[in-house]
A and B are shown apart, each in its own frame.
Chain A
């Protein structure tokens, strides 16, 4: 497998000013390493504020990292100035299909625009538009091309967003919560479509989501993030079958499956809320909420270690191996 996107110990900080001389540092990404290979989908799962969106944006050079390396297709791009090829080969699918499409442009204009920027000939543009619409199954193309976004349903709009990301033949796509604004009954359709395209064109996809259940069905590998760090990372089936980090377990316990018996029992929950990324707790960042906390967790920060086929950052991960 060929690595298409490699992040090496990437840190992305934001500064918020507090008065004239003081500023606070928000450590949105605090030392993350991750590799996305061609032809696979990696899901990044976590709650709001854990840094999953910053991870996606940093990998696309939409945020400048404080330190660390971003390697795209074998070439380091962290400080590269000429990003023309990179911008063509790395694309994004946005969360909100209602605000990420210009309401004054027709579907044709929306899909054509990236190709105009990258000087693609008229004849080729026409071919690529047709192909992209066929890939996202907006058929027949003639019916959709003259329409405006408001004439389409949420699911159709998101498919336009996907078509737009496809016309430049990308090899790496970041999909940031692509279905969170879409009705439950259409979610699987959009996710299956992204999965299909990923396989067909052998693209590397970073699927960012808060929904661990969709990650289960639509990704090859999963990385669980908490407070700016990856706490567990490995093959999706393996991790979800036997999670080794208490946070992964908590995340799974919190999600119900439809079962009428649910209402007769209380759900297993961890107390408290995720920490502020300005001053994360010392030691393991999950320790104030962890049901298995021990003394060492309060002072020693656990590193990612290889345990039973995946990486996990917990001092006691071994005891959870089934």
Chain B
């Protein structure tokens, strides 16, 4: 359904050009959930805004192909993208979005707004539809008349979800949808996302820094490091047989509540994305580093079916 090739998004800053997304390619099938995991600054949120084309002013470079249902979104004008794609076909739940609800408007109206603006629906019909969606996300339908301050964090997040679903999009991008919530509320929202996935056959791109949380929803997992996708594959493979040394260490750094293994850590810090890179971006922190890792960028190798890794260790398995 979605096929992204060589997506690049660079920002201009005072320090130089930040290569936030650097040649990212992946695809997403209909009804499937893809997790994108990585640490802060690895480019996972930038990938999302690049797909949604919600770009800030300081763009240096925005190239690549985004094929959605066979149509190249990069060829659409901003106006076409806004009226045909954004929110109608692809919607998004932003990180901390529950704090960006307008405090002086009733939440029902805020959810109905795209119906009234995009579909030019009558206000009353729109509000009735919102009530249905409120039930869908587990809110009482009379909550449409409430103001944001009358809702708790978990309820606001449900409102945001209703907002993302109201135009029946095919794809919803979830950017850390639960990171501002307490764990017991987080579990409720994750269950809701699972239920919606089954009932509405939505595809998700789920962006998170939390590998354990990704395992709760995702069919496939992609791992990003320093602006690049370094591994992608089915959840079973990536979680249980991670190939990239970074993925291996990232997974072993998760403290297990049910297992008993002292969590590990990766010494050092990710590189500054202003730098120009020659070899593998993880080289400095990698314990398997070879000469070629420093000199040449590793290829994206398909080691087993549907499981790719960007690492020289697997170059002979090509």
A153 contacts B235, C-beta separation under 8 Å? no
Q: What B residues does A217 contact at CB under 8 A? A: 255, 262-263
One of A153, A189, A273 near B185 (C-beta < 8 A): A273
One of B183, B195, B256 near A257 (C-beta < 8 A): B256
Which of B78-86, B100-108, B204-212, B298-306 forms contacts with chain A? B204-212
A186 contacts B265, C-beta separation under 8 Å? yes
**For chain A, which range describes its interface: under 10, 10 to 19, 20 to 34, or 35 or more residues?**
35 or more
One of B188, B194, B195, B257 near A213 (C-beta < 8 A): B257
Known A-B contacts: A184-B211, A257-B254. Give 19 more (CB < 8 A).
A155-B269, A183-B39, A187-B265, A188-B253, A188-B263, A211-B255, A212-B257, A213-B254, A214-B255, A252-B257, A257-B212, A257-B256, A257-B257, A258-B251, A263-B215, A263-B218, A267-B187, A269-B188, A274-B182
One of B188, B218, B257, B269 near A255 (C-beta < 8 A): B257
Q: What B residues does A183 contact at CB under 8 A? A: 39-40, 209
> Do A256 and B216 form a contact, CB below 8 Å, given A184-B209, A185-B253?
yes
Q: How far is it, in angstroms, between the C-alpha of A251 and the C-alpha of B182 when the chains are bound?
A: 10
A210 contacts B184, C-beta separation under 8 Å? no
Give the nearest-CB partner of A264 in chain B.
B194
One of B40, B188, B239 near A259 (C-beta < 8 A): B239
Give the nearest-CB partner of A240 in chain B.
B257
Q: Which of B169-211 contact A (CB under 8 A)?
A: 182-188, 190-191, 194-195, 209-211
Q: What B residues does A320 contact at CB under 8 A? A: none
29 contacts between A and B (CB under 8 A): A47-B183, A184-B39, A184-B209, A184-B254, A185-B266, A189-B265, A189-B267, A212-B183, A214-B263, A216-B255, A216-B257, A217-B255, A240-B257, A252-B257, A254-B183, A256-B216, A257-B212, A259-B215, A262-B215, A262-B216, A262-B217, A263-B194, A263-B219, A266-B195, A269-B184, A269-B187, A270-B184, A271-B188, A274-B184
B210 contacts A267, C-beta separation under 8 Å? no
Q: What B residues does A254 contact at CB under 8 A? A: 183-184, 186-187
A267 contacts B212, C-beta separation under 8 Å? no
In terms of DSSP, what is the predominant structure of the interface of chain A? helix
Quick check: is B249 within 8 A (CB to CB) of the other chain?
yes
Quick check: is A260 within 8 A (CB to CB) of the other chain?
yes
Quick check: is A253 within 8 A (CB to CB) of the other chain?
yes
**For chain B, which range describes its interface: under 10, 10 to 19, 20 to 34, or 35 or more residues?**
35 or more
Contact with A along B30-57 (1 / 0, CB 8 A): 0001000001100000000000000000
> Do A257 and B259 form a contact, CB below 8 Å, given A188-B265, A262-B215, A267-B216?
yes
Quick check: is A102 within 8 A (CB to CB) of the other chain?
no
Quick check: is B292 within 8 A (CB to CB) of the other chain?
no
A251 contacts B184, C-beta separation under 8 Å? yes
Question: Count of A-B contacts with CB under 8 A?
Answer: 129
> Do A153 and B269 form a contact, CB below 8 Å, given A184-B250, A251-B183?
yes
B257 contacts A187, C-beta separation under 8 Å? no
Quick check: is B213 within 8 A (CB to CB) of the other chain?
yes
Shortest distance from the beta carbon of A136 to any chain B beta carbon, whole Å: 13
Quick check: is A48 within 8 A (CB to CB) of the other chain?
yes
B184 contacts A260, C-beta separation under 8 Å? no
Quick check: is B295 within 8 A (CB to CB) of the other chain?
no
Q: What B residues does A260 contact at CB under 8 A? A: 215, 234-236, 239-240
Quick check: is A197 within 8 A (CB to CB) of the other chain?
no
List the 4 shortest-distance A-B pairs measured between CB atoms, nearest first.
A153-B269, A254-B187, A189-B265, A47-B182
Give the nearest-CB partner of A186 in chain B.
B265
Quick check: is A156 within 8 A (CB to CB) of the other chain?
yes
Contact with A along B213-226 (1 / 0, CB 8 A): 11111110000000
A250 contacts B184, C-beta separation under 8 Å? yes
Give the nearest-CB partner of A276 in chain B.
B152
From B190, B219, B257, B262, residue with most partner A Cβ within 10 Å: B257
Q: How far is it, in angstroms, between the C-alpha of A262 and the C-alpha of B182 when the chains are bound?
A: 19
Q: What A residues does B140 contact at CB under 8 A? A: none
Quick check: is B114 within 8 A (CB to CB) of the other chain?
no
B265 contacts A48, C-beta separation under 8 Å? no
Q: How far is it, in angstroms, between the C-alpha of A6 and the C-alpha of B96 when the chains are bound?
A: 38
Contact with A along B236-251 (1 / 0, CB 8 A): 1001100000000111
One of B33, B190, B211 near A258 (C-beta < 8 A): B211
